[in-house]
Amino acid sequence: MNVYSESDIGLKRSSNQDYCLSGEFPDGAVWAIVCDGMGGANGGSTASRVAAENISESLRSGYREEMTPEELRNLMLLSVEYANRAVYDISLHVPGLEGMGTTVVLAVVRRNRAHIVHAGDSRAYICSEEGVRQITTDHSMVQQLVAMGEITPEQARQHPQRNMITRALGPEPNLRTDYNTVEFEDGARLIMCTDGLSNYLTDDELLEFIRNTDYKELKNKLVEHAKQGGGRDNITVAVISD
């Protein structure tokens, strides 16, 4: 397994409020965390960093090679829960950080399965030569409108409320997350990203990148694609491949 990640400030922002971490366990399984902070420059960058670092610490200290899938799921959920409490507690006690929060996508890939926990509108896609499938469902106002049939996915990409999320790590003492697991076949790619990339990327474009780009260069190509589209937000992407 291989994992590569990249975070870029983009072309318009004065600071990078995204944060990502990734690594490998001794048994060859890999993990990645992608966060997109909110709450002003200091609040957003603090929330995303604290969340990712706390999740990473909990995950690495609790992971065992002999864990069952259910035990891994519980570890991932608890790691995000602990991080939520850490960000929330800081927001209560540090002036200027009130109400800060962050999206989160956490993935662990082992034994030909990908396990994903997320909250917010940062995404995870499973990609192969055959196609692209978004694993996560955005927790956002525009996704609710899409689900109700009031707007199309194409309209959602340009909607003025596209940045309004309905779940985030940090603003409240408790957080409801979604967990998904999918088969990770030979030749597959798991792409995790913030909306600084997904707002500029269609499924067809992502599939074209998958087919024509070496996995080591994929993250850089995707970041450059977002910049060519305008780069109005911070851009963060993680790529997991077999």
* Predicted local distance difference test score (pLDDT) of residue 134: 95
* Angle subtended by helix axes 215-228 and 203-212, to nearest 10: 140
The predicted pLDDT at position 159 comes to 62
Using only C-alpha atoms, the chain has a radius of gyration, in whole angstroms, of 17
Which helix or strand (DSSP H or E) is residue 219 part of?
helix 215-228
Residue by residue, pLDDT tens for the chain (242 residues) are 899 999 999 999 999 999 999 999 999 999 999 999 998 878 999 999 999 999 999 999 999 999 999 999 999 999 999 999 999 999 999 999 999 999 999 999 999 999 999 999 999 999 987 799 999 999 877 767 766 676 667 666 666 566 678 999 999 999 999 999 999 988 899 999 999 999 999 999 999 999 899 888 999 999 999 999 999 999 999 999 98
Of 84, 82, 63, nearest in space to 72 by CA: 63
Q: Residue 29: helix, strand or coil by DSSP? A: coil
* Measured distance CA(17)–CA(120) in Å, rounded: 15
Supply the pLDDT for residue 42: 87
Place of tokens 């603090």: 46
What confidence score (pLDDT) does residue 216 get?
86
Residues 6+ apart with CB under 8 A from 228: none
Contacts of 124 (CB under 8 A, 6+ apart): 105, 107, 114, 116, 118, 134, 135, 136, 180, 190, 191, 192
Compute the distance between CA of residue 181 and CA of residue 186 in angstroms, rounded to an integer: 16
Q: What residue has token string 């960093």?
A: 49
pLDDT of residue 98: 93
Q: What is the pTM of this model?
A: 0.93
Q: Angle 69-93/40-62 helices, nearest 10 degrees?
A: 150
Confidence (pLDDT) at 146: 64
All residues at 6 or more sequence positions from 62 whose CB lies less than 8 Å from its CB, including other chains: 75, 78, 79
Query: Which domains occur in the chain, in start order?
Result: 2-134+165-241 (3.60.40.10)
